[in-house]
A and B are shown apart, each in its own frame.
Chain A
Amino acid sequence: MSAHGASADGAQVGQLARFSVSPARRRKDRLARASILAATTVALIPLVLIVYYLMRKGLGSWSESFFTTDPTGNTFFGGSNIGGVKSAILGTIEIVALASAIAVPVGIGVAVWLVEYGRNSWFAHTVRFFVDVLTGVPSIVFGLFVYIVLVVGTGSTYAGYKGSIALSLLMLPVVIRSAEVVLLLVPAALRESALALGAPRWRVIFNIVLPTALPGMITGVLLAIARAAGETAPLLFTAAYTHETNFNLGAFMNSLPVQIYNDVTSPTTAVVNRAWGAALTLVTLILLLNLIARLIARRSRLA
């Protein structure tokens, strides 16, 4: 550079001016960045507040006995033993497990059919349309449907498995849609080369397509489970509410969301606090599921 002397330096300054950012553009850039940051902060405030409130109110009622005892009905006198959320945690796990056992195989089956066989046929389009409609149906409608068909319709009463059916209806469209997206990501070249090896189509699906899509499908399934686990409305008049821990899905069954719903309306402060503790438990469970889903998604070969 120095070899060219002063005249070359002058030319370089001229070049710099040509490529430098004008002050007006700098101002606009700063303004745009600031407004995006402000929007992010505004969105974060309620999120942080919710977590903060949950921790502050919920952690207080957490104790070992909170997780190991069933809630009791003795709530009218201060100092009476109100119990914990054992039956609610176990009930939620049982109901959601049965719901997943129904929704996951059916949902993945539908997704495989849509991607591998239905493709662009009119029937496949019809199925996709109804799946989309189902996604938008409010959860209480599923509860109502099961209540009318399985509770009123059969002239019987509430039961855990009826809650599972309502939740599985809710999970179904989520499972179908997420599995379909992942299956579509499996490269067509893999199917082709497996077919070209002389593999029958069903073997291509079971041995090539599904294993390749597996991590992504697990993520979708876990997210669907997380969503179902937090639902109150479908369980209110299907699985109902009870105090006792119960392993019979044919009987009334407690669940975390429903217990929160019941406890929060109580006039007794200790019971309201129990609701906060249950809420924190529920959020923690769902957070764990989400974390697992993310870890699996990170290992996905398609991402």
Chain B
Amino acid sequence: MTPDGSTPQVADMDPESRSELARQEQSSTDPSPETTSRRITGAAGGSALASSGTAPVPANGDAGVAAKRGVGVALEQLRAFYGDSEQVKGIDLEFRANEVTAIIGPSGCGKSTMIRCINRMHEEIPGARAEGRVLLDDLDLYDPAVDVVAVRRAIGMVFQKPNPFPTMSIYDNVAAGLRLSAGRRGDVRAKVESALRSAGLWDEVADRLTEPGAGLSGGQQQRLCIARSLAVDPEVLLMDEPCSALDPIATLRIEELIEQLKARVTIVIVTHNMQQAARVADRTAFMLDGRLVEIGPTQEIFTKPVDPRTEEYVTGKFG
């Protein structure tokens, strides 16, 4: 790891990578589906960068971030297993670009497993595997040519418990995603600031960036983790019960943040808290026993659901 967030100088690069940088500048202002798929497989255009799992680095971090838009995700017959036990039993579901989709359902219904399949974290558990297709735009993330590292850079994840890296300062935590990946990083300092601003944390930590991230309060730590995910510039943000370890005020901050972030990323949030789903989600999906029961506009799921099981769950008859 470099001790400081040094910017690679164009003059240091060989001619080939200089032209590559020029190409990236073009592509970063053009959020077409083609860009995304090229970024992940490296098949089209044969970009050496993409195959090494590096996101295109816009020359101007801030401008690139602002131009970014979320990308839709679709699940097709997604099934997930732990060893022989099937936890997700064939789900077809679409998460629309720049919308917040909430997943609700009783404990153990496969909500978390399902979203962990979207950024391919599910397979990190020994004995776990997934079948079916997960489409980011039109690209199947389970295609053998897809680099799993690039998938996770395009699809960020925020976990249940805030978990900043304990050995790192606030600054280093946010920069971690940029530094932990191979290749050029761009202007780390600008990206860290932009990510912290997006996570609504900049004003609180601007004067103590070198202090340990673990010294923040629980809510601040969770926003730090959100900033950490945003710093690598994802198109989709998965949130696995991001507020379950937080107090109501910190929860409110995160919910406001979700509202702001959806202009920039597509958000999928798993929650146990139905009020939370009602507050933040554009659409809500109800899952039961590894299957999708119903998905629709949040208002409708909570007021006039089609399926009687959804109605029983949202009115508190079980779960």
Contact = CB atoms under 8 A, between A and B. Distances in A.
A193 B225 contact: yes
B73 to A, nearest CB: 15
B313 interface: no
A203 B126 CA distance: 19
B149 interface: yes
A194 B159 contact: no
Interface stretch (A41-49, A102-110, A206-214, A288-296): A206-214
A192 B159 contact: yes
B180 to A, nearest CB: 4
Interface stretch (B75-83, B95-103, B161-169): B161-169
Contacts of A13: none
B121 A207 contact: no
B179 interface: yes
A301 B167 CA distance: 8
B152 interface: yes
B91 interface: no
B152 A198 contact: yes
B50 interface: no
Interface residues of A, number: 22
Contacts, number: 81
A195 B176 CA distance: 11
Chain A CB count within 10 A is highest, among B126, B161, B165, B232, for: B165
B36 interface: no
Interface string B193-236: 00000000000000000000010000000000100110010000
A205 B214 CA distance: 20
Interface in A170-222: 187, 189-190, 192-200, 203-204, 207-208, 211-212, 214
A196 B151 CA distance: 9
A156 interface: no
A2 to B, nearest CB: 43
Interface in B134-163: 149-153, 156-157, 159, 161, 163
Given A189-B161, A207-B1, A197 B177 contact: yes
Given A192-B124, A198-B53, A301 B149 contact: no
A190 B161 CA distance: 10
Given A120-B126, A197-B180, A198-B152, A212 B165 contact: yes
7 contacts: A119-B126, A192-B159, A197-B177, A198-B149, A198-B181, A199-B177, A200-B181
Interface of B: 1, 53, 119, 121, 124, 126, 149-153, 156-157, 159, 161, 163, 165-167, 176-177, 179-182, 214, 225, 228-229, 232
Interface of A: 119-120, 187, 189-190, 192-200, 203-204, 207-208, 211-212, 214, 301
